[in-house]
Structure 1
Amino acid sequence: MFQVFADSAANLPAEVVKEYGIHIISFINMVNGEPLVCFQPDLTPEQEREEGRKYYDAIRAGAEIKTSLISCGRFEEAFRPVLEAGEDVIYFSLSYGISGNYNAARLAVDDLQDEFPDRKIRIVDSLNASLAQGILAIYAVEMREKGEDIDTIADRLQDWAHKMNGLFTVENLKYLSRTGRLSNSAAFVGNMLDIKPLLKGSKEGVIVAFRKVRGRKKSLNEIIDLVCRNIVNPEEQIIGIAQADCYEESLYVMEKIQERISVRRFINTSYDYCTGSHVGPGAIALFFMGKDRELDS
């Protein structure tokens, strides 16, 4: 038997975490000098949206946000009780190319492996963020319920990570400029001209801009079209939608996708505070499995 772990950047709603029995290790942000635990396990979807609105309103108002890694010690604290109970661990990490969190987990695993040499601890690098992590964790639980072993699941889902696409667009370019993905001047001009970049998780696990369009509605329609053209076996898939306080627009995205393809399930949730602080209010991201990450237009 093994237990499935993810960090709060996996963006799984509390009700989904309970449904699948996934363990979440939360990031902790600092908001105007006060700590904010990014995952709250008892919120309803409505409460999560309301808390998300408050968080992104604070960002709009100029709040100082600082993010930090999960420490090796906290990983050890989370994994150790499972290992002591004689069970194994599989952890789905925020991309190595986005965060140092993978390395922190790796160091914790090295220490724990010495302490528990007979137990297996597998880390799967999602090569992405948000629900790209979370959906892989869900698939791990489903495979476990079918009787598959931890190594088979970890190896298969590490391969699937290369096929799990993440597409997103933002409302205001200034938040991308703060993370160095755009210069301040490019963000200023882009906002003036209503330019909306389309971004994705690359095959190397980093976030890259790959297209520009003019206007919010066009950017949403473009990512809708890309999902519908590139998703594989949608009737078997979960599509993830993360929205940074733009819930009504996320419903529009869902509706338009459903008009074109039949999908097993949607998970539509407020963008997690850790990665959401880097894309800013108004960001919308879509996550789905394709044949690879080379998108056909």
Structure 2
Amino acid sequence: MSNVFIFSDGSCDLTKEESARLGISVIPFYVSMGGHQYQKELEELSLDVFYRFMLEEDGFPSTSLPSVHDYVEAFTPVLEQGGQIISCHITHTLSGSVQSAQTAKLILEETYPDGEIYIIDSWNATGSQALLLKEAARMRDADKTAVQIASYLEQAKEDARIIFMIGGLKHLQQGGRIGKIAALSSSLLKIKPVIILKGGEIHVGGAVRSRKKGLQKLAELALFHFQESGEDPSQYLANIGVTDLFEEVPLLREYLRQHLPSLPLEPFYQIGATISSHTGPGTTGVCFVKRFEAYNL
């Protein structure tokens, strides 16, 4: 049995069932709705309740990152039994979660100086972070070492991408996360911004006025990535993430099959509270990550 234990913050959007099946421990973010007390995502606050607040009550949730204590509490039992830790986190540009984990590592190293703790800034979030973690779990199950898994994550995060369309700018403005997206002009409230997360940074992918054109744009931008990089799509894994417009999944899947027929697509997933609190409803996207076999590890 492997001595490597894999952790993630809650922005990976793995369900409780998936994380249990994969053997990945998830430290949740905290979500507050309407000024109420912060609750742990999935553990104390279900997605059904969260989306009801955002969609039916037009609410603006807020989030808080896992604390240093949360990470210390999660890591300690593993170190006590001599295990090695891989902990993969949302990009530092969107949250301070990775800094909390780094601080926890420094604290724990005083008590467990021989402990191996690898804290990874994934440069990603949501679906691509989940795919990185799934590959890490696959490596663990193939008896790869913690050093090899950490090396994979550090390499693969550079090639991973999220390309997504949001329903509008309202939630990004409310959360102060609009940044470069302001270039699209916040006065054009009917546009659907298309955003790319690469290298840990948000980039403008364009803007469309209809959902269908937006879905086409997502597939075109995914194709452009592979054309520009010269990468082989069959060496990647991909998934489709959606907040609430589940009816868009089959059409986006079809566009991706047309543009990238060799790109393996996993089942779609629902984007969780941590990310959708900032993007708002009407968010649909595609994420892709290179398999670990594609790297010289």
What's the TM-score bracket when you normalise by the shorter of the two chains? 0.7 to 0.9
Deviation at 1:233, TM superposition (A): 3.7
Residue matched to 2:261: 261
Equivalent pair of 1:246/1:282 in contact (CA under 8 Å):
yes
Distance in structure 2 (CA, Å) of the matches to 1:135 and 1:16: 12
Instruction: Decide whether aligned partners of structure 1 residues 185 and 261 sit closer, same or farther in structure 2, where only a CA change above 3 A counts.
Output: closer
1:169 corresponds to which of 165, 178, 187: 165
Q: Over residues 64-104 of structure 1, what are the superposed CA-to-partner deviations in whole Å (9 max), with x where a residue is unaligned?
A: 42211110000000111111111110000111111111111
- Does residue 243 of the first structure (1) align with residue 238 of the second (2)? no
The runs of at least 4 consecutive aligned structure 1 residues that moved more than 6 Å come to none
Unaligned runs of 5+ in 1: 42-47, 291-297
TM-score (ref. length: structure 1): 0.86
Distance in structure 2 (CA, Å) of the matches to 1:235 and 1:184: 34
Residue matched to 2:19: 17
Deviation at 1:202, TM superposition (A): 3.3
2:28 corresponds to which of 22, 26, 32: 26
Deviation at 1:184, TM superposition (A): 12
Equivalent pair of 1:241/1:269 in contact (CA under 8 Å):
yes
Instruction: Decide whether aligned partners of structure 1 residues 234 and 185 sit closer, same or farther in structure 2, where only a CA change above 3 A counts.
Output: closer
Kindly report which structure 2 residues correspond to 1:217-236, keeping only aligned pairs within 5 A, or say none: 217-231=212-226, 232-236=231-235
- Determine helix, strand or coil for the equivalent of 1:197: strand
Distance in structure 2 (CA, Å) of the matches to 1:117 and 1:25: 23
Q: Over residues 203-245 of structure 1, what are the superposed CA-to-partner deviations in whole Å (9 max), with x where a residue is unaligned?
A: 2x12232322232111111101222443544334321222111
Deviation at 1:284, TM superposition (A): 1.1
Equivalent pair of 1:237/1:265 in contact (CA under 8 Å):
no
Deviation at 1:267, TM superposition (A): 3.7
2:38 corresponds to which of 20, 35, 39: 35
Residue matched to 2:111: 115
Instruction: Decide whether aligned partners of structure 1 residues 281 and 91 sit closer, same or farther in structure 2, where only a CA change above 3 A counts.
Output: same
Match of 1:56, as an amino acid? Answer: Y
Residue matched to 1:274: 274
Distance in structure 2 (CA, Å) of the matches to 1:185 and 1:286: 21
Residue matched to 2:150: 154
Deviation at 1:22, TM superposition (A): 0.8
Match of 1:115, as an amino acid? Answer: T
Corresponding pairs, count: 279
- Determine helix, strand or coil for the equivalent of 1:190: coil
